[in-house]
């Protein structure tokens, strides 16, 4: 595993919130708000984190366990502990290393990185950077031909799983981005960017990296026939023209024969539809609270989806993971693994690859400590008997 530099070690950086504070100090406010913010009043964003407080542990005491096994198998790959780095758009704007740094840190930690369609580094470079499994997350921006070409590139490069995001028929109203001027940062000329000068002056390291990297990158993996790579400014409109349907899953299933994940499922009905359409896994997710504000917290929706899937597919959960104990609670409620997003994005913003490595180091140590305190020998041995969850969650899932 990559060791983070001394500046990121304890006692300076003890938890993910410490990395968040460092990210806030390093990024211009407009970029930090993109990473940190959610849709509308950010109710779902906050609830994703808060809801873990509703689940309490039931530990086994006075248990002698000589060793602990954090490994699990998900989407056809064994990973060192049950946390996968979620797809995040614009990573190269957060740090020039972007997907490359995140993939390299994930591989060194023995886990999977998932690259977003909205990414600045080519798929082939990301795959080459990681010693572990790598997934690709698909939006249909650029049209079907561009999407089919990206799927084929991912297959040839050696990506092991395809994540299809189903919850973006239109981009959510992320008010911090609108007020902060994210669109102007991405699309405006020099005059439009003058408004950011006070932020840039106080963030010289980010500005230096941004300029050395050539400014706003194009979408290296969305190549429209006859047009070349799509620019970042086209994304919002393109999302509105490229909503995914279950019928799309059928041709995607033909184009991709490996593990196929429907990401953005919040109900048992949609989980069953996803499996019927060819998905081999579902990711319970509300897009990190960035789409429909007021939708259920991901952990709250997990038991219903697990019951509906009934062992027919892997279930992952995405949203609000900030501690290893959060990961353990999700596994106890039926998830095979979790997706972590902001937790590693804060690390990337703070220190590139080393920051991502430190985020993973924190989460892994938390998971092992939680297992020890629970008196549980392995991830595989975790089940619902180790937690107490609100009875209403089980009633909604149809479980006894």
In terms of Cα–Cα distance, which of 380, 268, 363, 381 is closest to 324?
363
Written as six digits, the tokens of 167 are 């919850």
**Rounded-to-integer distance, Cα 187 and Cα 233, Å:** 6
In this structure, the number of other CB atoms found within 10 A of the CB of residue 249 comes to 20
The residue to which tokens 């080519």 are assigned: 122
**Rounded-to-integer distance, Cα 217 and Cα 125, Å:** 15
Question: Do the Cβ atoms of 318 and 283 come closer than 8 Å?
Answer: yes
Q: Which of 95, 121, 287, 394 is catalytic?
A: 287
In terms of Cα–Cα distance, which of 101, 154, 146, 100 is closest to 125?
100
In terms of Cα–Cα distance, which of 95, 90, 92, 71 is closest to 81?
71
Residue 95: active-site member: no
- How many residues does this entry show for the chain? 400
**Rounded-to-integer distance, Cα 25 and Cα 44, Å:** 25
Q: In Å, how far are 247, 319, 349, 375 from 353, measured between CA atoms? A: 38, 22, 9, 33
In terms of Cα–Cα distance, which of 204, 117, 180 is closest to 154?
117
In terms of Cα–Cα distance, which of 109, 120, 118, 112 is closest to 137?
118
In this structure, the number of other CB atoms found within 10 A of the CB of residue 230 comes to 21
155-176 b/e with 16+ CB inside 10 Å = b? bebebbbbbbbbbbeebbebbb
Q: Is 282 helix (H, G, I), strand (E, B) or coil?
A: strand
Please give the positions annotated as active site: 287
């Amino acid at each position: 595993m990559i060791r983070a530099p001394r500046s990121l070690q304890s006692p300076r950086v003890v938890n993910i919130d410490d990395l968040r504070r460092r990210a806030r100090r390093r990024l211009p406010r407009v970029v930090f708000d993109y990473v940190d913010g959610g849709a509308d009043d950010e109710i779902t964003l906050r609830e994703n984190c808060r809801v873990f407080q509703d689940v309490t542990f039931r530990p086994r005491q006075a248990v002698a366990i000589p060793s602990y096994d954090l490994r699990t198998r998900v989407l056809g790959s064994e990973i060192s502990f049950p946390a996968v780095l979620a797809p995040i758009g614009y990573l190269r704007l957060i740090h020039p290393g972007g997907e490359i740094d995140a993939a390299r840190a994930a591989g060194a930690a023995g886990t999977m990185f998932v690259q977003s369609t909205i990414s600045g580094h080519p798929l082939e470079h990301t795959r080459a950077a990681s010693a572990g499994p790598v997934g690709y997350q698909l939006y249909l921006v650029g049209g079907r031909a561009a999407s089919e070409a990206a799927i084929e590139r991912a297959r040839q490069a050696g990506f092991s799983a395809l994540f299809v995001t189903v919850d973006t028929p239109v981009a959510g109203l992320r008010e911090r981005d609108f007020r902060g001027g994210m669109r102007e940062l991405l699309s405006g000329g020099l005059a439009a960017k003058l408004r950011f000068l006070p932020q840039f002056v106080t963030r010289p390291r980010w500005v230096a990296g941004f300029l050395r990297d050539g400014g706003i990158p194009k979408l290296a993996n969305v190549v429209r026939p006859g047009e070349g790579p799509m620019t970042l400014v086209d994304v919002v409109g393109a999302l509105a023209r490229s909503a995914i349907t279950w019928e799309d899953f059928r041709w995607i299933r033909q184009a991709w024969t490996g593990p196929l994940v429907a990401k953005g499922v919040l109900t048992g009905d949609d989980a069953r539809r996803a499996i019927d359409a060819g998905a081999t896994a579902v990711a319970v997710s509300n897009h990190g609270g960035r789409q429909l504000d007021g939708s259920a917290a991901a952990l709250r929706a997990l038991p219903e989806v697990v019951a509906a899937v009934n062992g027919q597919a892997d279930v992952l959960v995405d949203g609000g993971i900030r501690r290893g104990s959060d990961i353990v609670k999700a596994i106890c409620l039926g998830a095979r693994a979790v997706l972590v997003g902001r937790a590693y994005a804060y690390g990337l913003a703070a220190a590139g690859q080393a920051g991502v490595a430190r985020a993973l180091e924190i989460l892994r140590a938390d998971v092992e400590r939680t297992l020890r305190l629970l008196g549980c020998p392995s991830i595989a041995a975790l089940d619902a008997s180790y937690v107490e969850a609100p009875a209403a969650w089980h009633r909604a899932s149809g479980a006894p």
